[in-house]
A and B are shown apart, each in its own frame.
Chain A
Amino acid sequence: MKTPTLKIENLKLGFKSFSGTNAVLHGISLHIAKGEKVALVGESGSGKSVTARIVLGLLQEQKNAKINGGLEFEGRNLNAMTARQRKELRGTDMSMIFQDPTSSLNPVYTIEVQFHEVLKRARPDLKRAEARALALQALADVAINEPERVLDSYAFQLSGGMNQRVMIAMALANNPALLLADEPGTALDVTVQAQTLKLMGKLVEKHHTSVLFISHNLGVVREFADRVYVIYKGNIVEQGKTETLFDNPRHPYTRALLSAVPRITGGGIPDIDDDPAHFSAPLIAHEGFSEKELLA
C-alpha cells in the first residue's frame, strides 16, 4: 500500500499544570490515504481539534503541551522536524478551514490582498496581477458568480456562505496534500452548509487533496466522508466505512451519539444509554477497516 498522507500512531497529549498533567488524548491512531476524506467525529472536548492542531504543528510550540506518539506526513516524520520545517508545511502542503469563515478573514484587507498573501506562501515572488488572475480562477471554481466584485470586497461585505467558499478557495489555492476542516460551516445555516460542503467535496477530489474532517454534525459527516473515526474522551472508540458505521453502529457510544440526533418529525430525544462505563468500552474496528488491515 502507498504511503498515507497522514499517519498518526498511538498519539498521546497531555497539558502540564501545577497539579500535574491532564491527559487529553490517550493514544489515538488514525491515517488518511491519498485523496481520502476521513471524518473524526465526537462531542465537544473529545480531542478533535487538538488533534488537528498537533498535525499542523501548532501545539508543539506550546510549552505546557506534552505530545507523544508517531506523526507522519507523506512519509516524513513530523516529530523529527524543527519548528521552522513544520511552519514551512503550513499553508503550502497543509491548510485548514475553520468554523466561522467570516472571522477567519481579516476585516481590514480586501479578499484580493488576502488571496495574494496565501498564494505568496507557495510562490514568494508572485506579482499582484498574476495573483489576481489565479484568485479569479479559484473563486470561479467555488461557484462564485462575480469573482471580480468579491475580490474587491471586504469579508464583512460578503455573506457567510460566500466567505466560506472564499475560505475553501484559499485553502486549496496552493494545492495542499492535506486539508484539515475543523467543523467547517457550523456557523452557517444548514442549506448553505450543505451546498458548500458538496462543493468542497468535488474540489478536493479535483485537487487530489486528502481531508481530515472534524465535526460533531453526523448528518454532514455521512454526506461527506469516506471513512469515519469516532472519538470519545481522547480515545478512538469505533472506526469503519461511513455507510456501515452509520447503518450498524457497534460501540455503545456511537449508538448513543446516533440516537441523540434530533428528528425532524419530533418526539423528543429517545432514551439514551448514557452510562459512561459503557462508553469506555475498547475500540471497535469494522471488518477490514482496522489500522492494521488498512495499512498492511
Chain B
Amino acid sequence: MSKTLFVLVRNPLSLIGLMLVALVVFSAVFADFIVPFPEHQGAVVDFLNFNKAPEWPYIFGTDLVGRDLFTRIIYAYRVSLILGIVVLAIAVPVGVAIGLAAGYLGGWTEYVLMRITDVFLSIPPLVLAMSMMGLLEPTLTNGMIAVTAMWWPWYTRLVYNLARSEKEEGYVLAAEVIGASRLHIMFREILPNCVPSILTKMTLDFGFVILIASSLSFLGLGVQPPTPDLGSMVAEGAKYLPDSWWLTVFPGLAILIAVFGFNLIGDALREILGVDQ
C-alpha cells in the first residue's frame, strides 16, 4: 500500500492527479471554512451584485441573482462527491456480487444474470438515466438511483470475466478439494484477486459518475435549484455566453478538474497494479 502511494507520487502525471483530487476533496470537506459567502449555497438573492465579472471578493464572479460563484462551485463539489460515493457504494457491491455469482457458478445462474445485465448494458447509459429521471421526481436521491441503476452492470461484466478466469486457477480447485463452500470460494478466494481491477475501475469511474450526474442536471433532470450543481450551473450560464463567460467557464473547469484528476489516478493505478482492460 505504501509502495503504491510512493509510485503514485513519483510519476508526474499521477502526482498532478493526486493533487487535483486532493484539492477537490479538501474543498468539499472543508467548504464551510473556505468559502467567503457560505449562505450563498442556498436560496439567497443579492441584486446589487448580480452578474458581476470576476473581481474581489467575487473571484469567480457572481450569478444572475448575485450569488458568489466560487462559493457555489465548492458546495457543488460536495454534492458531486456525495453522489459519486453513494452511487459507487451501491453499484460496486451489487455489480460485484452478481458478477461473482454468474462467473463462478455458471450454468443457469450465469445465463439468467448475464442476460439481465446485457439488457441494462444495451440501453445507452444516459438515455436510461434520463428516462428514469423523467419518470421520477428530479431530486438528488433519485439522481443517485438513476445513475446507480446504469452503473452496476459494468462491474458485473468486469467481475464476471475476472471470475471466469480465476475459477480455473489452481487455488480455486485446491479450495474445492478441501471442501470449501461456494460462498467461501467466491468471496474469500476469487474476490480478493479481483480487487486491483475493481479498485482501478472505481477510481476511473468516480470522475465519470460526476460527469454523468452533471450531464443529467445540465439537461434539467438532476439536482434542482437552489442546491448548487456544476451541471445546472453550466446549463444556466450557457444562455448568457459569451458576455457573461464566467457563468459557464468556471463551473465547466471545475468539472474538468475533478474528472481529469480521478482519471489520472485511475490510469496510474492501472499501471501500478498491473491491471489490463
Footprint of B on A, CB under 8 Å?
56, 58, 63, 87-92, 95-96, 98, 100, 102-109, 117-118, 121
Contact = CB atoms under 8 A, between A and B. Distances in A.
Q: Chain B interface residue count: which class?
A: 10 to 19
Contacts of B171: 103-107
Interface string B203-224: 0000000000000000000000
Contacts of A56: 177
A92 B178 CA distance: 7
Contacts, number: 51
A103 B179 contact: no
B177 A103 contact: no
Contact of B174 (A92, A98, A107): A98
B89 to A, nearest CB: 23
A88 B179 contact: yes
Contacts of A63: 107
B169 A58 contact: no
Contacts of B107: 63
B173 A104 contact: yes
Contact of A104 (B174, B179, B180, B193): B174
Main secondary structure on chain B at its contact with chain A?
A: helix
Contacts of B180: 91, 117
A87 B179 contact: yes
Contact of A98 (B173, B189, B193): B173
Contacts of B174: 96, 98, 104-105
Interface string B153-170: 000000000000000011
Residue of A100, A102, A106 contacting most chain B CB atoms (<10 Å)? A106
Contacts of A106: 171, 175, 189, 192-193
Contacts of A90: 176-179
A87 B179 CA distance: 5
A92 B180 CA distance: 11
B107 to A, nearest CB: 8
B78 to A, nearest CB: 35
Nearest to B196: A108
A126 to B, nearest CB: 14
B170 A98 contact: yes
7 closest cross-chain pairs (CB), A and B:
A91-B178, A103-B170, A90-B179, A91-B179, A108-B192, A104-B170, A106-B171
Contacts of A108: 192-193, 195
B128 to A, nearest CB: 35
Given A107-B193, A108-B192, A95 B177 contact: yes
A283 to B, nearest CB: 30
Contacts of A107: 171, 193
A95 B193 contact: no
Interface string B129-169: 00000000000000000000000000000000000000001
A155 B13 CA distance: 33
A96 B189 contact: no
Contacts of A104: 170-171, 173-174
Given A90-B178, A103-B171, 6 more contacts: A58-B177, A90-B179, A92-B179, A96-B174, A98-B170, A105-B170
Given A106-B193, A108-B193, A118 B177 contact: no
A58 B176 CA distance: 8
B178 to A, nearest CB: 3
Nearest to A98: B170
Nearest to B176: A58
B235 to A, nearest CB: 46
Contacts of A105: 170-171, 174
A96 B170 CA distance: 12
Residue of B171, B178, B180 contacting most chain A CB atoms (<10 Å)? B178
5 contacts: A58-B177, A90-B179, A91-B180, A121-B178, A121-B179
A105 B193 CA distance: 12
B182 to A, nearest CB: 10
Interface in B2-19: none
Nearest to B172: A106
Nearest to A155: B171
A98 B178 CA distance: 12
A124 to B, nearest CB: 12
Contacts of A103: 169-171
